[in-house]
Structure 1
Amino acid sequence: MGDWERNLLKTSRGVFEVFVKGEGEPLCVTHHYSEFNQTGDYFAETFIKTNKVFLINLREAGNSEKAIEPYQLSFLETIFDIEAIREELGFDKWGFAGHSTGGMLGIIYGIYFSNSLKYNVIVGAAAREYMTFSKDCIYNPKHSKFNRMQELNETLKRSDLSTEKRKQLKVERTKLSLFDPEKYDELFYLNISKGMSAIRMNFFSRELQVYDVTKKLELISTPTLLICGRNDVQCPVIYSIEMEEGIPNSKLVIFEKSNHYPFLEEVEQFTEEYNLFIKEHQSF
């Protein structure tokens, strides 16, 4: 697996670090608080055979623009940044694919800028805050693994952790979101390392409390593929079912033997469903 090509892109909203790999129609991939580098990203890697993938470090992630005002870290402002990147790259439209909080960005993108999107792929996400009313969610205090997940997240925010300790804690955290934790080494075998923007993560934790765009889902006009693991402990499957009911031109596929990572846990089915979907919605 080769490295991703790194670009610093000057846009009307500042400079953004963008990693590029693959061939085909352009596809934008990002996550709300991950920090990517040239080793890439497991989710983004899924699409490189079918698309030219643009993996974006958002504001305050990696070498991208800093935030001058806190609100610049919000969902909507982030979409304005992504739109500036699309315009600078010269695409009338591109696809978007987001996993988890990246999928939440995809929902906001679809609501406000469906005209910029050929299609939208939302994996393991939600259109509203998914913890308070959901005991199946690992971020709900009633979940048996809630306390451990909280400890892991808080510890990982520390800057004084040794590389080895950080790696160990990340593995433990990921295993909590796998259908079969024993398969960790088999699934996560590539030399991919990514960081987390603590400032983005902290802003997200606040914005999430008031996040609910369910009433606006009908404004998404772009074809939307929704995918979720039946056993997703982060954004439980009920939220993907709700999104399918709300988004007019959408299709939901539930992966029976997946938790939060269907693109790794059931990789063949994931590739098959995605290929079917883009075949239907590609421009010729």
Structure 2
Amino acid sequence: MLVEINGNRLSIEVYGDRPGAPTIIAHHGAPGLGSLAEPRASFGRLADAYRVVVFDARGSGASEGNEPFTHEQWVADVEGIRQWLGVEPVIMAGGSYGGFIAMEYAIAHPGRVGALVLRDTSADNANQDLAVRNAATSSRVAIDPGKLDRIMSGTVRDDDDLRDCWTEILPLYDHDYDPAKVAERAAATPYRHRTHNFAFAVNQPGYDVKDRLPRISAPTLVTVGRHDWITPVACSEVIAELIPDARLVVFEKSGHSPQVEEAELFEATVREFLEKIYRAA
């Protein structure tokens, strides 16, 4: 469904009808490339015990793209969704770039977050240099430096160029490389280059929430794939060290997407984490 949130129509899907069930709001990654399909696949499995809300962020997927595409606006849109749902607190979840927004939402609205679930993300922009080095030294494929630079710096020329650059780096993401899956994923991606460019050229250079992470009081689960090239394990270790009593889980047979590559284990890990919190409550 399309719901107007803060003057912008967002594509939102809600799963689970168990009365009184805690609500999960899950934020996808890759602004301008990601969509609700990713969190729907990974968190939709929990709809038997939770109400699961997934959406295309402003400027991504099937949602409208009214500027600005700032972190502040995306956080405000999450809060608008929470108000539209009429619930608090919520379980806030986010993977990759969506983890940036999940952490910033938990910092901005501490009383409205009952638990925080993060996946393959970073507390600052240090992952950018790490990712470029990992891509350049990959033994899997030879990455075109120009395409890597355009997508990482937010200087792609148009949607077709974004598609070309995205297809170039996709082989780096999974633990086990399957060219057919890469082609399928590239074909299924919704391309919105203006959103992507703003996120990586404007937002990313100044992104750093490390000094604010100790303010997060919600129980936090930090998950990451051992072989993640773009937000390596070290990034998640920093988050887990800075958020009080955060739990870090590393998935040994995954790249950037343990929710896909080790789906059953990822689901079981999230369920166990949340059940302890809500059983106690």
- The interval holding the TM-score normalised by the smaller chain is 0.7 to 0.9
Which residue matches 2:93?
97
The answer (yes or no) to whether the contact 2:135–2:229 under 8 Å persists in 1 is no
- Structure 1 position 270, deviation (Å): 0.8
- TM-score, normalisation: structure 2: 0.80
The answer (yes or no) to whether the contact 2:9–2:64 under 8 Å persists in 1 is yes
The answer (yes or no) to whether the contact 1:149–1:173 under 8 Å persists in 2 is no
Structure 1 residues 114 and 275, CA gap change in structure 2 (3 angstroms): same
Which segment is superposed worse, 25-34 or 101-110? 25-34
The answer (yes or no) to whether the contact 1:225–1:250 under 8 Å persists in 2 is yes
The answer to whether residue 24 in structure 2 is matched with residue 27 in structure 1 is yes
Please, which runs of 5 or more residues in structure 2 have no aligned partner?
A: none
Structure 1 residues 116 and 154, CA gap change in structure 2 (3 angstroms): same
The answer to whether residue 202 in structure 2 is matched with residue 209 in structure 1 is no
Identical-pair percentage: 24
For 1:27, what is the secondary structure of its paired residue?
A: strand
Which residue matches 1:236?
232
Q: Which amino acid aligns with 2:52?
A: V
Which segment is superposed worse, 216-225 or 152-161? 152-161
Structure 1 residues 147 and 53, CA gap change in structure 2 (3 angstroms): same
Which segment is superposed worse, 28-37 or 255-264? 28-37
Q: Which amino acid aligns with 1:144?
A: T
Which residue matches 1:3?
none
Q: Which amino acid aligns with 1:8?
A: L
The answer to whether residue 104 in structure 2 is matched with residue 111 in structure 1 is no
Q: Which amino acid aligns with 1:106?
A: A
The answer (yes or no) to whether the contact 1:32–1:58 under 8 Å persists in 2 is no
Q: Deviations over 1:163-194 (max 9, x none)?
A: xxx5x975653321111113864x9989x933
Question: In 1, distance between residues paired with 2:227 and 2:61?
Answer: 32
Q: How does 1:1-284 map to 2 (within 5 A)?
A: 7-23=1-17, 24-30=21-27, 31=29, 33-34=31-32, 40-51=36-47, 52-68=51-67, 72-131=68-127, 134=129, 137-140=130-133, 143-145=136-138, 147-148=143-144, 151=147, 154=150, 158-160=158-160, 173-182=169-178, 185=181, 193-205=188-200, 206-282=202-278
The answer (yes or no) to whether the contact 2:123–2:208 under 8 Å persists in 1 is yes
For 1:212, what is the secondary structure of its paired residue?
A: coil
- Number of corresponding residues: 265
Question: In 1, distance between residues paired with 2:190 and 2:149?
Answer: 13
- TM-score, normalisation: structure 1: 0.80
The answer (yes or no) to whether the contact 1:131–1:140 under 8 Å persists in 2 is no
The answer (yes or no) to whether the contact 1:111–1:216 under 8 Å persists in 2 is yes
Question: In 2, distance between residues paired with 1:207 and 1:159?
Answer: 19
Question: In 1, distance between residues paired with 2:146 and 2:96?
Answer: 17
Question: In 2, distance between residues paired with 1:25 and 1:153?
Answer: 41
C-alpha RMSD over aligned residues = 3.2
Q: Which amino acid aligns with 1:203?
A: F
Please, which runs of 5 or more residues in structure 1 have no aligned partner?
A: 1-6
Q: Deviations over 1:231-254 (max 9, x none)?
A: 110101111001001001310001
